[in-house]
Chain A
Amino acid sequence: MSTAAFVYRNPTQESRATRLALTVLAIGFVGLFLLLPLMSVFANALANGISGASAALSNSDTLSSVRLTLIVAAIAVPCNMAFGVAAAWVIAKFDFRGKSILSTLIDIPFSVSPVVSGLVYVLMFGLQGWLGPWLRDHDIRIIFALPGIVLATMFVTFPFVARELVPLMIDQGRDEEEAAVSLGASGFKTFLFVTLPNVKWGLLYGVLLCNARAMGEFGAVSVVSGHIRGLTNTMPLHIEVLYNDYSYAAAFAVASLLAMLALVTLVLKSFLEWRFADEIAATHRH
């Protein structure tokens, strides 16, 4: 018997050329369409040197737009976190009539154009809207003010947390909750000690995505904000204003600040995944 020159190959592995082509394609695509534009944002921001960029960032209108964006995110993200967890909990752990309708409703903000989302609030709270006259009589400002911007942001970012948690919670099933109840835990303690710890990584991921979108939302906020400089302009809106004013360097400086927030979010997520890898593995289905 001669020893034939067998080439052991992983049955799911493609030839070297195919692998190389696919890798180049993927890296090339990511580089060309994601990395290059991002780098050009930073490059343009520094067109007038670091002093130019820092001068643009310390402008009072710019600072107020940063402050507004942070305030909006600080209100909208915790609210959506609470709503998202509640929605995911009822959908995954309970049976009731209209469950599939609720599940579909949660996706509305993903399927509706952000401009429409903004218009909805103008139609409701604007001067010509349903509640407009009543609000004006009671001196309550929603449109062209902080409440409107927060509402529009919350609408657009609503699905992020729920969408992240629903499949995870469904996959984990109800066994552990049933065990907790049979051991004497109240509904609240079951949620706090069993349900929540099991989904905390999914929750964190959902919150990070929700936050990134809340800070970056343009369309819906643009409709309800009124673009009042230094007052109702969030960072994305302020970038547009600067750009239309031909203040390119300033626009790109604020844009790179916004992009940096997104990058920090991603780095944070990767760091947490790396730091707690063991625990994440343990909370997946055994």
Chain B
Amino acid sequence: MSLMIDCVAKKFERYPALRGVSLEVSKGAFLALLGPSGSGKTTLLRILGGLEFADLGQITFENQDWLSIPARERRAGFVFQHYALFRHMTVASNVAFGLEVRPRRTRPSRAEIRRRVDELLTLVQLEGYGDRYPSRLSGGQRQRVALARALAIEPRLLLLDEPFGALDAKVRKELRVWLRALHNRLGLTSIFVTHDQEEALDMADIVAVMNDGKIEQIGTPDELRHAPATPFVADFLNSGRSQTPDRPRLSVVNL
């Protein structure tokens, strides 16, 4: 197993956000952390990214003590729900940032950086957008810039915090397919936080359903669909399905 999370716990003030979470992720997997808001999924992702600190527990990644490495040395590409693009920089400068801030010894040459930026913008289908400012882009385009920026540092782990949460349904569906294909092509290990059960079951190899700071069940989308381990999992997955337009609720039909 490439990523091992062992009994990680975290409290905010006196309110527990994580109550001892353990999880294993193999290399190249696409894991979804699924749960309602307040279930601790984002906290766990932020701990993996080094943006939050665990009170207890251990995380090992590729045989390294992951928690002892500072955030900026982890090379964990983080994609934020609200993009967090550098608003005063052009798209190209945003993507180049992770390379530009490297110490002189390891920094690629200017020409090399430009080549990499062009390559990444092509990858996220934004060729020719390099000179624009983020404020002139649509939500979907901004999120693709954010992804290109995270990929520029050649991340060992890709962490996505509700990346499609702020987008409309149509764009969300398109990006879902596209992101999954990209993950396969680049051979990344990705962890994806979402509260949308359909999104998690559609995209991920493994889904961890979280509730109240704990993992309720870990399994493949099929396992979760056919054998929910707890009433919470059954209920949570079901509530999502009844909201899809092809299975209208009775109350809607009665209208």
Contact = CB atoms under 8 A, between A and B. Distances in A.
A168 interface: no
Most buried by B among A178, A184, A197, A284: A184
Contacts of A60: none
Most buried by A among B88, B97, B98: B88
B87 A282 contact: yes
Interface residues of A, number: 23
A198 B80 contact: no
Interface string A139-153: 000000000000000
B88 A180 contact: no
Interface stretch (B67-75, B114-122, B213-221, B235-243): B67-75
A185 B76 CA distance: 13
Contacts of B35: none
B51 A181 contact: yes
A271 interface: no
B153 interface: yes
Interface residues of B, number: 31
B88 A182 contact: no
A176 B101 contact: no
A36 interface: no
A21 interface: no
Given A183-B98, A184-B102, A186-B72, A178 B80 contact: yes
Contacts of A180: 86, 97, 101
A279 interface: yes
A183 B102 CA distance: 9
Nearest to A183: B98
Contacts, number: 78
Contact of B84 (A176, A189, A193, A283): A176
Most buried by A among B50, B98, B149: B98
Nearest to B106: A184
A194 interface: yes
Interface of A: 175-176, 178-186, 189, 193-194, 197-198, 279, 281-286
Interface of B: 49-51, 71-78, 80, 82, 84-89, 97-98, 101-102, 133-135, 146, 149-150, 152-153
19 contacts: A176-B85, A178-B80, A179-B84, A179-B85, A179-B149, A180-B97, A180-B101, A182-B49, A182-B51, A182-B76, A184-B72, A184-B153, A185-B98, A185-B101, A186-B72, A186-B101, A193-B97, A194-B86, A281-B135
Top 7 nearest A-B pairs (CB, nearest first) are A175-B84, A183-B98, A182-B78, A286-B135, A185-B101, A179-B84, A197-B88
